[in-house]
Structure 1
Amino acid sequence: MKYYSTQNPDQKVSLSEAVIKGLAPDNGLYMPERIPTLSQDQIESLSSMSFQEIGYLVIGSLFSEDLTDGQIKELVGHTLTFDAPLVQVEDDVYSLELFHGPTLAFKDFGARFCSKLMSLLLTDSDQKVRVLVATSGDTGSAVANGFLGVEGVEVIILFPKGKVSLLQEKQFTTLGQNITALEVDGVFDDCQTLVKKAFLDPELNEKLLLTSANSINIARWIPQCLYYFYAYSRLPKNGKKVVFSVPSGNFGNIGAGILAQRMGLPIDQFVAATNVNKVVPDYLKGEEFLAKPSIQTVSNSMDVGNPSNFPRLLALYGNDGALFREKVKGYFYDDQETVKAIQSVKPNGYTLDPHGAVGYLGLKAFMDGNPGYVGVFLETAHPGKFRDVVEEALGEELVLPERLAAFLEGEKDVIPMGKGFEEFKGFLKNLP
């Protein structure tokens, strides 16, 4: 299978090059040249399969031309070591809990898959790989823990100073070993810009082997489709249409859901739910896509003003903006609405994190205007990762899982960094 750049479909590379380079030389995102489709029989058999068996089927259909059966089983087995339970919150409303992995966030799936796939592809290489990661929260912790101790790989995480929750920050600034954290005096978009500029800098790329573990990398992006297949297989549909609501920042997660749909999964509708960083909801309502400076909110992992995966979403719909707007509906919510959602759902016996709250609100808004659906919203992180927001909203103390509380004991170790590229480039050039 070849992978093409969203900037130039005629520019195609191998799986290995797409994964190791992360970003195309023309600044495009890599996409598979064709998307395999599962048969109706295979779709109907999902309900009788385990999560791992679904993983073998889906990943096998996508990667069988490049990986052996043994490598696919090893890859899926390493990735799917924890569950993604579907929990009923209200009638016809379900939460897909994606926070049961090592760092209690949905990005554990992609990070574990990415680290394992890179190690498989680099088996015969003696060159050190530098993984550059911009994070607004959960990406940093998931990638750091997914790559911790992986031989031949050094991870450099850039995060915006003062704009990441304490628990998220502790999960990637206290690890040491092959993980380095750069505290950037700016916002997430500044971090993302630094990473992209580094990938396109000829001098750096001549000296270093740079790659990404953000969702711009197909190895982080593609495996997220697995939990859509799994959720669909466990969802009581009762003859109703299916809608997934995805709290969205860089839009890789919803893009993976659309990939699952393109592979034949019968999802009827998607909802892109954001906070006030609403460039994509604005686009979906008919406006031009226009990147804007990000705004800080209580759902900080979605504080993205220029979503990197937007070209990938368009590519999934054949660059047909009208079709994109038909299949995906956009909603956005401010902090006050987010907090009220956390408060309103608690009497049902369910605790939302701020991102899941935004997904819940988007799902409810869509279902209120479109009867006949059963809906799933993605709960992307454990509420304890946003303890201050949730405890203040509910007026009660959260009990943290032991592995989450353990991170608080670690000592933060960061390198301060300005948002200018030359400083960052100098740091990279001086790496041993």
Structure 2
Amino acid sequence: MNYHSTRGQCAAVGIDAALAAGLAPDGGLYVPESLPQLSAADFAGLVNLPEIAARLLQPFFDGSRLQSQLPVLCAEAFDFPAPLRELDAQTALLELFHGPTAAFKDFAARFLAASLERLRKADAPVTTVLVATSGDTGAAVAAAFHRRPGFRVVVLYPDGRVSPRQAHQLGCFGDNVMALRVAGSFDDCQALVKRALKDEALRQDCALTSANSISLGRWLPQMGYYVASTLAHQRSHGEALDFIVPTGNLGNALAAVLAKACGLPIGDIVLASNANRVLPEFFASGQYTPRASIATLANAMDVGSPSNFERLRWLYPDFKDLPAWLHADAVDDDAIRTTIRAVWAERGIAVCPHTATALCVAQRLRAQGNARKMAIVATAHPAKFEQIVEPLIGSALDVPAALATLLARPAHATPIAADFDELARVLRAAQD
């Protein structure tokens, strides 16, 4: 299997080279040259997430040094559960926050780290993993690469635009992890990372790669929990499962879209955005108008220029090509607050602001008469957003043990301007 850039200005490469590079040389995102076609029958006898993920990824790793190791890689990366928690007969939460940093990004970050470690040559220079984060990605990547020989992690996050506990996670690792708090938005952080990855001189000096969802090693593994949960539902109920996915940069949601495009039994997919309405506006009008992001309660989705939109356009080049099973909706902060309060009052369940966007969209669909079985993708543990959630529900939240351990560590982040030259100086100094 070869991979080419969404921008089509550079040669196709195998997945091992694409994983190591992160971003294509022309600034595009790597995508497979063809989509393997799979069905539920290809997963007969497989029931747990690591087994299903390994089978799912096999054709995407055709020709890779890692192909034979996929069962071990998936067992190592996906060693915590992704349960479906029933809310009612037709609605469930797909809980993806039971990993070491209490967010869905732990799954793919661990897979990427394990993959890059196995691909790394013994005499290679230290690789700098550069990552922009709107809240959760940075901690997941930091945890996955922490103290992993041969790697250094540099995390950029928008100062003052992540929750206090997210900020603490980003700065608490130390050792081979550096946190940079950027005077700007997530879009500024993302632009700095993309520019660094395209700067050939800087790449040579610092051996850069990416761990954002632009990386195939982040995007592809995320298909696993969608396929595992929909297969379980189909086996029990004889029908595919719909998913409502909170999304900002579009990576996680597009993993579900990719799995369905490969023929797997996934129902409708709905993208739930916050007040950054770029994606819902595109789905409504066909006009894609990226803009500066605005700060919301669901901060990890505060993205005004989603990187993975290029992959959506690759799958469906024209607006008329968008499938009827793919939709998008937007939820403002008032609706997020109302949803958090209502779910707690009605069910005694606390949800994070991002999960609340998806629940709000589900409620709208129910009001329109949609009675299909839906899985609400719960992307982060509410305890990461206690300053928002606790006042709304009037109760203190239990903190997961892994998160409590991270919060007990001292934390430090270095302030920098949203300036490429300053970032380049920091990266080169860290390499020395």
TM bin (shorter chain) = over 0.9
The equivalences for 1:117-266 within 5 A come to 117-235=115-233, 238=237, 242-266=241-265
Judged with a 3 Å threshold, the aligned counterparts in structure 2 of structure 1 residues 67 and 386 are, in CA distance, closer, same or farther, namely same
Q: Does 1:25 align with 2:21?
A: no
The equivalences for 1:20-419 within 5 A come to 20-42=20-42, 45=44, 49-67=47-65, 70-235=68-233, 238=237, 242-317=241-316, 319-324=317-322, 326-346=324-344, 347-369=346-368, 371-419=370-418
* Deviations, residues 126-158 of structure 1 (Å, cap 9, x unaligned): 221111100011001100000001111110000
Q: Distance in 2 between matches of 1:204 and 1:320?
A: 36
Equivalent position amino acid for 2:109 in 1: A
* Deviations, residues 344-380 of structure 1 (Å, cap 9, x unaligned): 1112232211111101112232344353511111000
CA contact (8 A) 2:6 2:28 kept: yes
Q: TM-score scaled by structure 2?
A: 0.95
* Deviations, residues 9-29 of structure 1 (Å, cap 9, x unaligned): 773112122111111111100
Unaligned runs of 5+ in 2: none
Q: Distance in 2 between matches of 1:50 and 1:227?
A: 10
Unaligned runs of 5+ in 1: none
Aligned residue in 1 for 2:424: 425
CA contact (8 A) 2:128 2:154 kept: yes
CA contact (8 A) 1:241 1:373 kept: no
CA contact (8 A) 2:227 2:266 kept: no
Runs of 4+ in 1 over 6 A off after TM superposition: none
Judged with a 3 Å threshold, the aligned counterparts in structure 2 of structure 1 residues 39 and 125 are, in CA distance, closer, same or farther, namely farther
CA contact (8 A) 1:240 1:373 kept: no
CA contact (8 A) 1:241 1:372 kept: no
Stretch moving more, 163-172 or 215-224: 163-172
CA contact (8 A) 1:244 1:363 kept: no
Judged with a 3 Å threshold, the aligned counterparts in structure 2 of structure 1 residues 334 and 360 are, in CA distance, closer, same or farther, namely same
Count residues in correspondence: 429
* Deviations, residues 325-362 of structure 1 (Å, cap 9, x unaligned): 63321111111100111111112232211111101112
What SS does structure 2 have at the residue aligned with 1:94? strand
Judged with a 3 Å threshold, the aligned counterparts in structure 2 of structure 1 residues 9 and 349 are, in CA distance, closer, same or farther, namely farther
Stretch moving more, 53-62 or 233-242: 233-242
CA contact (8 A) 2:214 2:308 kept: yes
1:81 CA displacement:
0.3
Equivalent position amino acid for 1:414 in 2: A
Q: Distance in 2 between matches of 1:67 and 1:42?
A: 23
What SS does structure 2 have at the residue aligned with 1:373? coil
Judged with a 3 Å threshold, the aligned counterparts in structure 2 of structure 1 residues 20 and 125 are, in CA distance, closer, same or farther, namely farther
Q: Distance in 2 between matches of 1:418 and 1:376?
A: 40
Q: Distance in 1 between matches of 2:318 and 2:123?
A: 40
Stretch moving more, 53-62 or 149-158: 53-62
Stretch moving more, 205-214 or 136-145: 205-214
CA contact (8 A) 1:131 1:211 kept: yes
Calculate the aligned-residue CA RMSD, in Å: 1.7
CA contact (8 A) 2:5 2:28 kept: yes
Q: TM-score scaled by structure 1?
A: 0.95
Q: Distance in 1 between matches of 2:135 and 2:50?
A: 28
Q: Distance in 2 between matches of 1:10 and 1:169?
A: 37
